[in-house]
Amino acid sequence: MDFRLNAQQELFRTTMREFVDAEIRPVARDWEQEGRYPTEIVAGMAELGLFGMTVPEEYGGLGLDLVSFAIVFEEISRGWMGIAGILGSHALSCAMIARHGTELQKKTWLPLLATGERRTGVGLTEPDAGTDLQGIRTTARLDGDHYVVSGRKTWITNARHADPLPVLVKTDPTATPAHRGMSILLVDAGSPGYEVSRDLPKLGYKGTESCEIVLDDVRVPRENLLGGVAGRGLQQALSALESGRVNIAARSVGLAQRAYDEALSYAKERTAFGRPIAQFQAIQLQLATMATKVQAARLLTYWAAAEGDAGNRVDTQTGMAKMFASEVALECAIESMKVHGGNGYSREYEVERLYRDAILMSIGEGTNDVLRTVIAKSLVSGEARVG
């Protein structure tokens, strides 16, 4: 049993860490407060080939293993979690096309998506359907050699840059169970009737946009049906979300690590009663607990990723990692604020941004309470076990 990264993964982490420390950390707080889009950082990520993380090498991508995939999101989130969002939805969409797309779809889109020349996201959530994706109302009616799509999507990351955007629709609204009538269509952003209607205001997760999209009788060529077969959309989306939970777990680890780093640094510098507060036992207990939980979350995340790399089904493992790491991220953010005292509440310090970003991690890619039920069902059924 080896808990160490291999030489290639170590080199990759060093490269990512240097990029984050040079290009992201120095500007994150100011750019987030200004509401500035991180154009230069996006260009740097494209130069590193990160938009091709989940694109196979034969289509011009990096074809990263899941552990290296986790490293990317951990390191970027250590700098600015919102930047990780730009890559996250794009990577999930690319993985979905690579895994389920027809050969023509792969050749058409993956090479351009791998370089970042084109970017993408995922159109799943609707105003009345988040966790319950079978409750979506967006429909696609077949009319000759086109589907006519009508509906609304919300909380869509990369919405203003996604082209194409994979959109989950109901090609047969009467199907029972509902998932048998659900499909994914690759929608070109320039299609008549396709509109990004507004950016949603958010507490945190700045740096990337989250938008509402209106589809008003948008005509989508039949060949843009993902995989070429209707009725498989929900399975295609859920299979991609398995690896997406590695993304969220790793983001949470990066956030938690940064919260710990900020607390440790502040505790060494801040003095009270004539000595650094790091010398007080109460602060030491907080730091020790944070450090232990960060490392536990990291190991759980890398374990889930390694299980995926081994070709195993990983819905339980990634669910565990995402649930635990996201809660550790919020705990560490809160504890770091406590170590900072009143300064932790100030926008002049990094920790208040970490707190605002951490809250989202327990919601994205399946809420933690829903994941608990998924994990429990797999344990009760015997599909998964502990130990």
Q: Where are the beta strands (DSSP E) in the chain?
A: 139-143, 146-157, 165-170, 182-187, 194-199, 210-221, 271-272, 275-276
Q: What is the CA radius of gyration of the chain?
A: 21
Question: 75, 212, 350, 365: which one is catalytic?
Answer: 365
Q: How is residue 250 written in tokens?
A: 């790793």
Q: Percentages helix, strand, coil for the chain, rounded to the nearest 5?
A: 60, 15, 25
Task: Report the C-alpha gap between 283 and 321 in whole angstroms.
Answer: 27
Cα–Cα nearest to 200, from 189, 191, 208, 190: 208
- Judging by beta carbons within 10 Å of its beta carbon (0-12, 13-18, 19+), is residue 343 exposed, middle or buried? middle
As a whole number of angstroms, the distance between CA 117 and CA 95 comes to: 17
**Catalytic (active site) residue 365:** yes
Token couple for 271 = 């003095």
For every residue of 234-271, DSSP letters joined together read HHHHHHHHHHHHHHHHHHHHHHHHHHHHHHHHHHHH-E
What CA–CA distance (Å, rounded) separates 21 from 219? 45
Residue 237, classified by CB atoms within 10 Å of its CB into exposed (0-12), middle (13-18) or buried (19+), is buried
Tokens of 252: 């949470």
Other CB atoms within a 10 A radius of the CB of residue 90 amount to 28
User: DSSP string spanning 75-126?
Assistant: HHHHH-HHHHHHHHHHHHHHHHHHHHS-HHHHHHHHHHHHHTSSB---B--B
Q: What whole-number distance in Å separates Cα of residue 306 and Cα of residue 4?
A: 12
**Partners of 26 in beta bridges:** none
Other residues' Cβ atoms within 10 Å of the Cβ of residue 303: 16
CA 88 to chain CA centroid, Å, is 4
Active-site residue set = 365
